[in-house]
Amino acid sequence: MDRQIDRELSELKKSLVQMAQLAEEAVRQSIAAVINRDSQAAEKVIMGDGVINSMENDINEQCLRLLALRQPLARDLRLITAAMRIITDVERIADQAVNIAERALELNLREPLTLPIDLKFMADLALEMVRNGIDAFIQQDPQLALQVWQRDVEVDTLDDEYIQKLLKFMLEETPAVMRAVHYIIIIRNLERIADLATNICEDIVFIVEGKVIRHSSE
Amino acid sequence: MDRQIDRELSELKKSLVQMAQLAEEAVRQSIAAVINRDSQAAEKVIMGDGVINSMENDINEQCLRLLALRQPLARDLRLITAAMRIITDVERIADQAVNIAERALELNLREPLTLPIDLKFMADLALEMVRNGIDAFIQQDPQLALQVWQRDVEVDTLDDEYIQKLLKFMLEETPAVMRAVHYIIIIRNLERIADLATNICEDIVFIVEGKVIRHSSE
């Protein structure tokens, strides 16, 4: 049973993976731009956002064409409508990379700060969630999706911990406040990226099992 | 030509409006909880979030049923898939209200601050965008949607201005830093609500005209 629609769905998944890889790379580069004080890398992230945006539009068209021409039902229908939501989330992940890159440009104009936080660790955690979320979509694996969804609490805990540390730091060294706040905003951007990965996973559980985990508590 | 699907689409729109009104009210109450130091109001916002979450699930089901049973084409298809995206945005707007309410609870435990910013003004601006965005969806009015979309720059400007003011304030009065940062985060929550309203409007222009404005620049 090699249906035409299966080939088209596999094309759709391939495009979605490409888009997600670009978004992931953008976040990685934006954090490297902060850590290495590399404004050129930051500019590249900002310039590169247009490619990801047009990929979103193309994939969205691809989905609408599939819905109109193949009139899919049940699981295929849920898969396509979820793909439309996932690309919105992936595009917003890329927007967070742009926000972080803009903070890098600001921070690089000022004296460097030595802060008691590990941005790369937090970024790696958030990006692993994104990558596994996309994998779960490709493999239609609700178990993996649930695992990613549950790890969001780790990023939330880190978010709290780092913000507490920055507040303490700010109280001790007032002249650095302005710069420290840029870091707070970056942390919130990362925390949001993890949330978006969680949203992606909710969609996958829904596609495969028709079950909504979005607002349940475990 | 009173088609069955037209009656169903009008039901869908009605549910979406109800959900949006609850989300709007939640944001309004959460800001009131900050301004009036009203922790009871904040608790109510946090408790009320479940209703909005289950509305999102119900409307999502309604959309999938429409797609499966009516197999809509062209404009109807775009309308339904956009409605699925819009309820996701509305639900995230309600989540921002919960975030703000949680900040209110924190702030109400400490001494009040007198700050040179007008949170209610910013909230009203963001909520007007949300309301007009939903109106534009109901009336299928891409012109109104574009207007809302263009007003996002006003909230962005206010966001910059208020954050600058808070940074200045923090530099002058160090012991208040911790509380001031709560305000910064609230401002960012509000700014995000306006962004979500902009996303909603992008979807409406797409439904009615099949034109993507999401990543264009004017």
Measured in angstroms, the CA of A45 and the nearest CA of chain B are apart by 16
What is the 3-class SS of A167-188, one letter each residue? Answer: HHHHHHCHHHHHHHHHHHHHHH
pLDDT the model gives residue A217? 47
Mean of pLDDT values over A72-84? 86
Contacts of residue A177 in chain B, CB cutoff 8 Å? 167, 170-171, 174, 177
d(CA B104, CA B82): 33
How many separate domains does chain B show? Answer: 1
Residue-wise pLDDT for A105-137, tens only, equals 988 888 888 888 898 999 998 999 999 989 888
Whether B10 is in a domain gets the answer: yes
- Please name the residues in contact with B150: beta carbons below 8 A apart, sequence gap of 6 or more: B218
Contacts of residue B84 in chain A, CB cutoff 8 Å? 81, 84-85
Whether A218 is in a domain gets the answer: no
Is the predicted pLDDT of residue A212 greater than 70, yes or no?
A: no
Whether B215 is in a domain gets the answer: no
pLDDT the model gives residue B7? 93
Q: Name the residue of chain B whose CA is nearest to A207's CA.
A: B64
Whether A66 is in a domain gets the answer: yes
pLDDT the model gives residue A171? 75
pLDDT band at A182 (very low <50, low <70, confident <90, very high): low
**Between chains, do B181 and A181 touch, taking CB under 8 Å as contact?**
yes
Q: Does residue A26 or residue A198 have the better pLDDT?
A: A26
Buried b (16+ CB within 10 A) or exposed e, B21-54: ebbbbbbbbbbbbbeeeebebbeebbebbeebbe
Q: Name the residue of chain B whose CA is nearest to A196's CA.
A: B92
Residue-wise pLDDT for B10-50, tens only, equals 999 999 999 999 999 999 999 999 999 999 999 999 999 99
pLDDT the model gives residue B204? 61
**Between chains, do A57 and B177 touch, taking CB under 8 Å as contact?**
no
Residue-wise pLDDT for B133-185, tens only, equals 898 888 888 888 888 888 888 888 888 888 888 878 877 777 667 666 766 66
pLDDT the model gives residue B65? 92
Whether A145 is in a domain gets the answer: yes
Q: Helix-strand-coil percent breakdown of chain B, rounded to 5?
A: 85, 0, 15
d(CA A58, CA A114): 43
d(CA B41, CA B186): 16
Range of the domain at A181: 4-209
pLDDT the model gives residue B45? 96
pLDDT the model gives residue B20? 94
Mean of pLDDT values over A29-44? 95
pTM value is 0.85
Q: Does residue A184 or residue B114 have the better pLDDT?
A: B114
Plot region of A112 (φ>0 → left; ψ -120 to 50 → alpha; else → beta): beta
Contacts of residue B175 in chain A, CB cutoff 8 Å? 171
Report the residue from A54, A174, A188 with minimal CB separation from B171. Answer: A174
pLDDT the model gives residue B48? 95
Measured in angstroms, the CA of A181 and the nearest CA of chain B are apart by 8
ipTM: 0.80
Best interface-test mutation with B: which of A160, A192, A215 has the largest number of B CBs within 10 A? Answer: A215
Residue B114 main-chain phi, psi, to 5 deg:
-100, 110
pLDDT the model gives residue B46? 96
Is the predicted pLDDT of residue A54 greater than 60, yes or no?
A: yes
Contacts of residue A65 in chain B, CB cutoff 8 Å? none
Residue-wise pLDDT for B83-142, tens only, equals 998 899 899 899 889 988 988 898 888 888 888 889 899 999 899 999 998 988 888 888
pLDDT the model gives residue B153? 84
B10 contacts B81 by C-beta, under 8 angstroms: no
Is the predicted pLDDT of residue A48 greater than 70, yes or no?
A: yes
The CATH number for B56's domain is 1.20.58.220
**Between chains, do B64 and A81 touch, taking CB under 8 Å as contact?**
yes
Whether B92 is in a domain gets the answer: yes
Whether B65 is in a domain gets the answer: yes
Mean of pLDDT values over A149-173? 82
Whether A214 is in a domain gets the answer: no
Contacts of residue B82 in chain A, CB cutoff 8 Å? none
Is the predicted pLDDT of residue B218 greater than 50, yes or no?
A: no
Is the predicted pLDDT of residue A162 greater than 80, yes or no?
A: yes
